[in-house]
């Protein structure tokens, strides 16, 4: 390597989830020495932290995977359409084993500080144990939905039983026969509740905003389906890279809901009701763009939801009303029996938005304005501080002593989600203002850009990569311009994490590029082909 300044390692990565594993592969391939720190006791990121019963992927497994090795794509077989967390976790071990990644990974190591040292253009990384390590390149693979939001509810520390966030499920927790409360009703609760209800004494969901809930329609992998996938893996991966949400979907379909006669539209909606987010993309092209088309889709989903909810009073709480907010302004959950589970005698729903808000948590349970509920276990399924949360939880200090948290106090700008001005030689995988898409697809495209950027810089004899302020301003302006044209721009109405609107005392902001993941991946490739004009390269004498 051309940078003559001595560091302990070329690149330090935080996080050993999909991003960490992809970075090991691509950075090692670029000739760098790589060290990955993870505070968890195992690799897996999301799939190590989110071990709640029922946790599984919402992307279909066969394209929720890393694509850098054709051989490994052929070697691994998923057991079902959406793998449960245990299976995804096993897959990640398989990748780490097959690619000899373990020597790069140091677990049980929480990074607390990362400090850019202007004199040498290097980074000093400090862990919770006081270990210090220097590197030329500091890379975040911490994930964009990983920092839990813990609500501030009066009396939370007084509860006698276990009370925890869904992403911190206590190992071995015995909930059989217990009275379980879940605060929150997003994608996590939709997966978790029906599984808990099978064993718990009772499950009570404290519910605020209704969601558009789509059916998952799980199914086992068959030998024929597996053969078809493996015979066509190149096309599947290509499809992901060319799809607006990074998914292997057959879209655009070349027709709009608003131009399709009512009967024909209903037929297309009905025929495509086969599970997954496919329905949104493989029916019509205008559902997320045109308010009238979005309302048509919303109405169809709401009717489908109501068909599956036995009690009309419960349906009133769970189902949105057309026009309340657009489909996808809040990320829709995928359902594996959640709506039907409300027919069980041991499942209860409490409307804390319109009927009885939570007043406090007591020693024995939850007090609302109307009732005193007793519980043995309280689960906070209250979501995440998306995109910026994990990065802000570490004290990351760039030039002139500015921290990332300070920089992002009112807006969270970046250059394509991969780097941030004021933070030289630092890179982020799926940072703010990247798209929201099938994550392994985005992660891999980011890792490729980062590795190529470093390779180009070092190949040209430089050691310092400085993200340009004007490139950041330009990207952020573009992201905002696109955002206001989309229906997702209404996410702040309904506390959507996609706009950081779920965080108390925090200005909602534009966190996601909605110009299409396919367009974004193309922009990353163009940047790479053009020699990375968004950053400037320089040398620091060693
Ligand atoms: P979420 O969608 O943000 O839902 C959080 C829930 O908690 C909402 O119902 C929210 O109500 C409620 N809530 C928040 N603060 C509250 C408070 N102080 N009092 C009462 N209720 C409160 O979080 P999530 O379900 O964990 O899902 C987050 C994202 O993670 C998903 O959208 C998805 O992208 C990802 N995820 C993915 C998978 C997968 O792909 N397999 C599975 C789970 C999650 P309001 O809506 O009214 O704010």
Confidence of residue 2 (pLDDT cuts 50, 70, 90): very low
Q: What's the mean pLDDT in 119-138?
A: 97
Distance CA 447, CA 88 (A): 20
Distance CA 527, CA 450 (A): 11
Q: Quote the percentage of the chain above a pLDDT of 70.
A: 99
Handedness of CA 416, 511, 115, 409 (dihedral sign): positive
Q: What's the mean pLDDT in 176-189?
A: 98
Q: How far is the CA of 330 from the centre of ligand 1 (A)?
A: 9
Q: How far is the CA of 92 from the centre of ligand 1 (A)?
A: 25
> Does residue 5 carry a pLDDT above 90?
no
Phi-psi region of 408 (alpha: psi -120 to 50; beta: other; left: phi over 0): alpha
What is the token pair recorded at 383? Answer: 């979501």
Q: List, in sequence order, every residue forming a beta bridge with 427; answer none if it has no partner.
A: 139
Closest-CA residue, ligand 1 atom 45, reads 209
Closest-CA residue, ligand 1 atom 17, reads 151
Contact 318, 302 (CB under 8 A): no
Distance CA 269, CA 470 (A): 44
Q: What's the mean pLDDT in 294-308?
A: 98
What is the token pair recorded at 323? Answer: 């026009």
Q: Residues lining ligand 1, judged by CB closer than 6 Å?
A: 56-58, 145, 151, 183-189, 191, 208-209, 331, 352, 381-384, 495, 497, 502
pLDDT of amino acid 135: 98
Which are the contacts of 225, defined by CB distance < 8 A and separation ≥ 6?
none
Closest approach atom of ligand 1 to CA 380: 7
Confidence of residue 6 (pLDDT cuts 50, 70, 90): confident
pTM given for the model: 0.97
The DSSP secondary-structure symbol of 284 reads -
Closest approach atom of ligand 1 to CA 331: 32
From the list 102, 99, 125, 130, the residue with the least C-alpha distance to 114 is 125
pLDDT of amino acid 4: 63
Handedness of CA 455, 459, 460, 465 (dihedral sign): positive
Q: What's the mean pLDDT in 3-12?
A: 86
Closest approach atom of ligand 1 to CA 153: 18
- Give per-residue pLDDT as tens, 327-367: 999 999 999 999 999 999 999 999 999 999 999 999 999 99
Q: How many whole angstroms from its chain centre is CA 431?
A: 11
Query: Where are any strands of DSSP class E within 15-82?
Result: 34-37
Q: How far is the CA of 369 from the centre of ligand 1 (A)?
A: 23
Query: Among 184, 373, 379, which residue has the most ligand 1 atoms within 8 Å of its CB, making it the best to mutate?
Result: 184
From the list 81, 337, 380, the residue with the least C-alpha distance to 195 is 337
Q: Quote the percentage of the chain above a pLDDT of 90.
A: 98
Q: List, in sequence order, every residue forming a beta bridge with 361; answer none if it has no partner.
A: 366
Length of the chain: 542
Helix 439-459 vs helix 18-29: crossing angle, to nearest 10: 30
The DSSP secondary-structure symbol of 537 reads E
Q: What's the mean pLDDT in 244-248?
A: 98
> Does residue 184 carry a pLDDT above 60?
yes
Closest-CA residue, ligand 1 atom 36, reads 187
Q: What are phi and psi of 397, to 5 degrees?
A: -115, 125
> Does residue 20 carry a pLDDT above 60?
yes
What is the token pair recorded at 121? Answer: 């253009």
Q: What's the mean pLDDT in 104-108?
A: 98
Q: What residue has token string 């340009």?
A: 468
Q: How far is the CA of 437 from the centre of ligand 1 (A)?
A: 17
Distance CA 190, CA 208 (A): 13
> Does residue 1 carry a pLDDT above 50?
no
Contact 433, 511 (CB under 8 A): yes
Query: Among 65, 383, 386, which residue has the most ligand 1 atoms within 8 Å of its CB, making it the best to mutate?
Result: 383
What is the token pair recorded at 397? Answer: 């200090």
- Mean pLDDT, rounded, of the chain: 97
pLDDT of amino acid 542: 56
pLDDT of amino acid 46: 97
């Amino acid at each position: 390597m051309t940078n003559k300044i001595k560091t302990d390692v070329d690149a330090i990565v935080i996080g050993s989830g999909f991003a960490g594993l992809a970075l090991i592969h691509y950075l090692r391939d670029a000739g760098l020495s790589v060290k990955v720190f993870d505070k968890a006791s195992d690799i897996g990121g999301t799939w190590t932290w989110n071990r709640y019963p029922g946790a599984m992927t919402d992307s279909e497994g066969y394209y929720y995977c890393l694509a850098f090795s054709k051989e490994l794509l052929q070697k691994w077989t998923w057991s079902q359409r959406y793998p449960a967390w245990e299976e995804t976790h096993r897959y990640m071990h398989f990748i780490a084993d097959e690619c000899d990644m373990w020597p790069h990974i140091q677990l049980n190591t929480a990074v607390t500080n990362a400090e850019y040292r202007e004199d040498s253009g290097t980074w000093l990384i400090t862990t919770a144990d006081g270990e210090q390590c220097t590197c030329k390149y500091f890379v975040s693979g911490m994930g964009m939905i990983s920092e839990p939001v813990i609500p501030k509810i009066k009396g939370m520390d007084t509860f006698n039983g276990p009370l925890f966030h869904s992403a911190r499920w206590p190992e071995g927790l015995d909930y059989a026969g217990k009275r379980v409360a879940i605060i929150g009703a997003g994608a996590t609760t939709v997966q978790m509740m029906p599984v808990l209800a099978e064993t718990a004494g009772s499950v009570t969901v404290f519910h605020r905003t209704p969601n558009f809930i789509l059916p998952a329609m799980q199914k086992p992998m068959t030998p024929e389906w597996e053969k078809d996938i493996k015979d066509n893996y190149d096309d599947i991966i290509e499809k992901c890279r060319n799809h607006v949400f990074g998914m292997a979907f057959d879209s655009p379909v070349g027709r709009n809901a608003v131009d399709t006669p009512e009967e024909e539209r209903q037929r297309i909606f009905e025929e495509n009701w086969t599970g997954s987010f496919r329905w949104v993309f493989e029916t019509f092209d205008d559902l997320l763009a045109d308010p009238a088309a979005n309302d048509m889709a919303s109405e169809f989903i709401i009717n489908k939801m109501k068909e599956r909810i036995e009690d009309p009073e419960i349906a009133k709480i769970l189902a949105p009303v057309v026009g309340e907010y657009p489909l996808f302004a809040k990320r829709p959950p995928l359902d594996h029996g959640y709506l039907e589970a409300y027919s069980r005698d041991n499942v209860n729903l409490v409307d804390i938005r319109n009927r009885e808000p939570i007043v406090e948590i007591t020693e024995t349970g939850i007090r609302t304005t109307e009732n005193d509920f007793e519980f043995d276990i309280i689960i906070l399924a209250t979501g995440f501080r998306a995109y910026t949360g994990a990065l802000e939880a570490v004290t990351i200090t760039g030039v002139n002593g500015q921290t990332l948290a300070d920089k992002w106090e009112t807006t969270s700008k970046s250059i394509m989600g991969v780097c941030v001005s004021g933070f030289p030689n630092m890179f982020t995988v799926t940072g703010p203002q990247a798209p929201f898409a099938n994550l392994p697809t985005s992660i891999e495209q980011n890792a490729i850009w980062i590795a190529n950027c470093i390779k180009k810089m070092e190949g040209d004899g430089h050691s310092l990569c400085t993200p340009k302020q004007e490139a950041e301003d330009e990207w952020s302006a573009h992201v905002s311009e696109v955002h206001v044209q989309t229906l997702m721009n209404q996410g702040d109405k309904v506390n959507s994490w996609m706009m950081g609107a779920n965080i108390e005392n925090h200005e909602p902001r534009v966190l996601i590029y909605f110009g299409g993941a396919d367009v974004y991946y193309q922009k990353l490739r163009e940047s790479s082909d053009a020699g990375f004009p968004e950053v400037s390269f320089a040398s620091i004498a060693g």
